[in-house]
């Protein structure tokens, strides 16, 4: 066989092999992407339900994630106790108290619990001597950060710990009494997400590759609420655009370039559906829900 023909055939076979490898790699990546499952937990009152890819399933653990005032980690369940007049706010592990957050002298709430290694973080609000709510982060039962000075009511509703940094999300009131959605990092303001023209708050945080995502809601003067996802201080997604529905984000999860959100959307009052959105678009409408319910989403 002439040398030039052999060289041409060899080159063709090399191209074919490369194309085959690329096609195989692409197919594997496609299968891997398709195998990513979306899990959700909906908690409405005392009823908790579990979902996988939009279908209800049996109970599963959600280690490393929080639903409202509870969190699972390492096979254990952590939760904050509800406020009761004169009682000490506490963190419980498997229903046994491990940390007291307050002495019971003033009202306080822990709205979020987050576990990082052996450390237990809680975020919430405590009244000061003047009766103002002060946004507070506790670590292992001791105040880590007073996020606000008590000049306006404020609360921390969400926590995330990444690389030794402690992020908190919530709201701080302005001079007109409207909550301004705020993210703090290590006790200092990182982002003011809204300008105070309408009430807003953060309900969930997620940090991925240095990017800080926040989820929550804003309310207009007509009392319509808009579920919103922010990224690094800027609006990333408005999940209900037309104002015909009320909606809120309770949970965020980021995988690669995909941003998942779980929350609520309804048309009247506080009744509606538990939702999962992906990149700003409805992925699943799970079940009946209330605006004040707690929902979680994660992907694995």
The full DSSP string for 132-147 is -EEEEEEETTEEEEE-
Length of the chain: 300
Q: With cut-offs at 50, 70 and 90, classify the pLDDT of residue 44.
A: confident
Closest by CA to 205, choosing from 157, 164, 277, 264, is 157
Tens digit of each residue's pLDDT (9 = 90 or more) over 64-117:
777 778 888 888 999 998 876 668 899 999 999 999 999 988 899 999 999 999
Tens digit of each residue's pLDDT (9 = 90 or more) over 261-295:
999 888 766 678 888 999 999 999 988 887 777 88
Measured torsion, CA atoms of residues 200, 206, 208, 212, in degrees rounded to the nearest 10: 20
CB atoms within 10 A of CB 126: 23
The pLDDT of residue 176 is 84
Higher pLDDT, 249 or 289: 249
Give the angle subtended at the CA of 68 by the CAs of 112 and 47, to the nearest 5°.
Answer: 160
Low-confidence winner among 48-57, 135-144, 228-237 (lowest mean pLDDT): 48-57
Q: With cut-offs at 50, 70 and 90, classify the pLDDT of residue 253.
A: very high
Q: With cut-offs at 50, 70 and 90, classify the pLDDT of residue 24.
A: very low
The pLDDT of residue 236 is 96
Both tokens of 63, joined, read: 């280690």
Higher pLDDT, 31 or 51: 51
Return the sign of the alpha-carbon dihedral for residues 14, 16, 21, 26.
positive
Q: With cut-offs at 50, 70 and 90, classify the pLDDT of residue 222.
A: low
pLDDT for residue 11 is more than 70:
no
The pLDDT of residue 9 is 39
The pLDDT of residue 205 is 97
pLDDT for residue 27 is more than 90:
no
152 phi and psi, to 5 degrees? Answer: -140, 150
Percent of the chain, pLDDT > 90?
Answer: 55
Computed over every residue of the chain, the mean pLDDT equals: 84
3-state secondary structure of 219: strand
Q: With cut-offs at 50, 70 and 90, classify the pLDDT of residue 53.
A: very high
Closest by CA to 205, choosing from 249, 156, 252, 166, is 252
The pLDDT of residue 185 is 98
pLDDT for residue 252 is more than 90:
yes
The pLDDT of residue 63 is 75
Closest by CA to 127, choosing from 137, 118, 136, 119, is 136
Buried-state track 279-290, b at ≥16 Cβ within 10 A, e below 16: eeeebbebbebe
Which letter does DSSP use for residue 131 in this model? Answer: S
Q: Are 104 and 97 in contact (CB under 8 A)?
A: no
The pLDDT of residue 119 is 95
pLDDT for residue 30 is more than 50:
no
Both tokens of 249, joined, read: 């984000």
Closest by CA to 189, choosing from 230, 156, 227, 151, is 156
Q: Is the pTM of this model over 0.95?
A: no
Closest by CA to 199, choosing from 229, 236, 168, 224, is 224
Which letter does DSSP use for residue 83 in this model? Answer: P
The pLDDT of residue 295 is 85
CA distance linking residue 258 with residue 197, whole number of Å: 30
Return the sign of the alpha-carbon dihedral for residues 24, 28, 29, 31.
positive
Range 17-31 average pLDDT: 40
Q: Are 63 and 74 in contact (CB under 8 A)?
A: yes
Beta bridge partner(s), residue 166: 161
pLDDT for residue 61 is more than 80:
no
The pLDDT of residue 5 is 41
Distance of CA 222 to the CA centre of its chain: 26
Closest by CA to 88, choosing from 114, 108, 69, 68, is 108
Range 191-201 average pLDDT: 92
CA distance linking residue 254 with residue 52, whole number of Å: 17
The pLDDT of residue 29 is 40
Continuous segment of H or E residues that includes residue 32? helix 3-34
Tens digit of each residue's pLDDT (9 = 90 or more) over 150-162:
999 999 999 999 9
């Amino acid at each position: 066989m002439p040398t030039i023909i052999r060289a041409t055939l060899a080159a063709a076979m090399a191209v074919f092999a490369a194309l085959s490898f690329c096609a195989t790699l692409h197919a594997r990546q496609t299968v891997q992407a398709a195998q990513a499952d979306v899990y959700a937990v909906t908690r409405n009152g005392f009823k908790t339900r579990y979902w996988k890819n939009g279908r209800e399933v049996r109970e599963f653990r959600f280690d490393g994630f929080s639903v409202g005032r509870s969190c699972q980690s390492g096979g254990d369940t952590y939760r904050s106790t509800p406020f009761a007049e004169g009682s000490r706010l506490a963190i419980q592990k498997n229903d046994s108290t491990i940390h007291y957050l307050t002495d019971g002298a003033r009202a306080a709430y822990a709205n979020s619990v987050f576990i990082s290694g052996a450390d237990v973080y809680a975020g919430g609000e405590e009244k000061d001597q003047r009766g103002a709510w002060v946004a507070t982060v506790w670590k292992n039962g001791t105040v880590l950060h007073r996020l606000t000075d008590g000049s306006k009511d404020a609360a921390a509703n969400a926590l995330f710990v990444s690389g030794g940094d402690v992020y908190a999300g919530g709201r701080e009131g302005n001079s007109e009494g409207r909550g301004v959605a705020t993210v703090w990092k290590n006790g200092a303001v990182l982002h003011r997400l809204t300008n105070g023209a309408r009430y807003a708050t953060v309900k969930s945080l997620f940090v991925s590759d240095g990017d800080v995502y926040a989820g929550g809601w804003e309310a207009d003067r007509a009392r319509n609420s808009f579920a919103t996802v922010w990224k690094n201080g800027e609006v990333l997604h408005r999940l209900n655009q037309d104002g015909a529905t009320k909606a809120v984000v309770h949970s965020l999860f980021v995988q690669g370039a995909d941003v998942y959100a779980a929350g609520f959307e309804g048309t009247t009052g506080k009744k509606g559906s538990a939702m999962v959105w992906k990149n700003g678009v409805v992925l699943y409408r799970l079940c009946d829900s209330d605006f004040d319910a707690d929902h979680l989403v994660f992907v694995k």
